[in-house]
């Protein structure tokens, strides 16, 4: 076992501070990664605050990890020392159930291991994430990252990126289709970039006039202000797909009204109760309300390759690790465009 520096919180109320954690010695198929950058995801905040009731302390969040390989196990074949790699939301799964066999490890029937806050089956306790200087991960859960991209902006692709790319692919968004992105934050701004790159007629749907200019800069063809009933009714029954990134409970009925018959609105943000959905908004025109969660390892690699091909990264604001407590507050106030990324060098010195 090796001791490494990390930033952790001892309780729901405590601030993050420097702590020492243990990483396992490498097994045959493990890769050790020196962490360069870690994105700050809204989930990190939910987890630290125990919003989902499963927090384990000390918590070391971080599941948008970019780094370089510094050591490999004897049987590792995909990676070598010096490779630029990423680690996302998962670090292990059974690899044998039907979900794993269909490359959807996030729904592993025996339970996938999250990058932080899961049971650590190697050294006991719970897994500790990317707010740390290094991590050891089995090679099947390590992603290859192109050297061509601005790698600071690659970190958020490991969660915000795959979370938005996966549903756009799953619901088969095609060139020329009319795609709506609801909400302009860490997820929404990635949804826009992907939908535009896929050739969709991409439309920002937002409550806030102030976000219209930003959305246009990100490449949308049009902006609908959702509080304006005339704008909303002008677009009734016209969307081929809607990606709903709103991170809290809200009234989805006005958005369902925008869908064409037989089409889908997919939730990727609101892991909490939604206001009363009117059955008629699904029954009339046979509409679908769905949800989606990250993606499997194979699709995450496909997404990273798509980003390299289309020169897509997240828009980020860099912070040092000692700014993390303030960053959490700013994320909660929606005060970031669009994702904080920690320069992990700041923890090493």
Q: Which residues of this protein are in contact with its own copies, per CB under 8 A?
A: 99, 104, 107, 170, 249, 261, 264, 267-293
Cα first-last separation, the chain: 22
Nearer to its own copies, 144 or 237 (CB): 237
> Considering the complex, what minimum distance in angstroms separates the CB of residue 190 from its own copies?
16
> How many angstroms separate the CA atoms of 278 and 186, rounded?
29
Contact predicate 23/4, CB 8 Å:
yes
> How many angstroms separate the CA atoms of 86 and 252, rounded?
34
Nearer to its own copies, 240 or 323 (CB): 240
> How many angstroms separate the CA atoms of 71 and 48, rounded?
30
Nearer to its own copies, 57 or 107 (CB): 107
Nearer to its own copies, 11 or 288 (CB): 288
Nearer to its own copies, 55 or 270 (CB): 270
- String of b and e for 202-236 (b: at least 16 CB within 10 Å)? bbbbbeeeebbebbeebebebbbbbeeeeebeebe
> Considering the complex, what minimum distance in angstroms separates the CB of residue 182 from its own copies?
13
Read off the tokens for 113: 């291991």
> Considering the complex, what minimum distance in angstroms separates the CB of residue 285 from its own copies?
6
> How many angstroms separate the CA atoms of 155 and 341, rounded?
7
> Considering the complex, what minimum distance in angstroms separates the CB of residue 338 from its own copies?
20
């Amino acid at each position: 076992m090796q001791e490494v520096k990390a930033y952790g919180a001892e309780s729901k109320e405590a601030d993050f501070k420097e702590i020492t954690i243990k990483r396992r010695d490498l097994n045959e198929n493990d890769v050790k990664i020196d962490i360069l950058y870690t994105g700050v995801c809204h989930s990190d905040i939910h987890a630290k605050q125990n919003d989902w009731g499963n927090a384990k302390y000390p918590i070391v969040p971080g599941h948008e990890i970019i780094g370089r390989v510094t050591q490999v196990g004897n049987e590792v074949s995909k990676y070598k020392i010096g490779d630029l790699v990423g680690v996302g939301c998962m670090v292990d799964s059974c690899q044998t159930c039907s979900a794993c066999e269909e490359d959807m490890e996030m729904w592993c029937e025996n339970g996938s291991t999250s990058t932080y806050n899961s049971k650590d089956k190697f050294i006991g306790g719970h897994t500790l994430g990317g707010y740390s200087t290094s991590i050891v991960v089995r090679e099947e859960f390590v992603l290859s990252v192109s050297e061509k991209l601005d790698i600071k902006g690659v970190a958020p692709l490991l969660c915000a990126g795959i979370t938005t790319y996966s549903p756009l692919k799953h619901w088969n968004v095609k060139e020329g289709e009319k795609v709506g992105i609801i909400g302009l934050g860490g997820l929404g701004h990635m949804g826009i970039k992907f939908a535009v790159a896929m050739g969709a007629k991409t439309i920002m749907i937002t409550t806030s006039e102030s976000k219209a200019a930003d959305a246009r800069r990100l490449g949308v063809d049009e902006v609908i202000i959702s509080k304006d009933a005339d704008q909303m009714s002008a677009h009734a029954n016209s969307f081929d797909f809607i990606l709903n990134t709103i991170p809290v409970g809200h009234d989805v009925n006005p958005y369902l009204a925008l869908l064409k018959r037989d089409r889908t609105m997919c939730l990727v943000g609101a892991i909490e109760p939604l206001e009363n959905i009117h059955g008629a908004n699904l029954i009339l025109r046979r509409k679908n309300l769905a949800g989606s969660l990250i993606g499997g390892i194979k699709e995450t690699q496909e997404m990273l390759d798509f980003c390299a091909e289309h020169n897509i990264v997240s828009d980020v604001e860099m912070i040092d690790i000692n700014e993390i407590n303030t960053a959490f507050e700013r994320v909660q106030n929606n005060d970031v465009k669009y994702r904080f990324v920690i320069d992990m060098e700041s923890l090493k010195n």
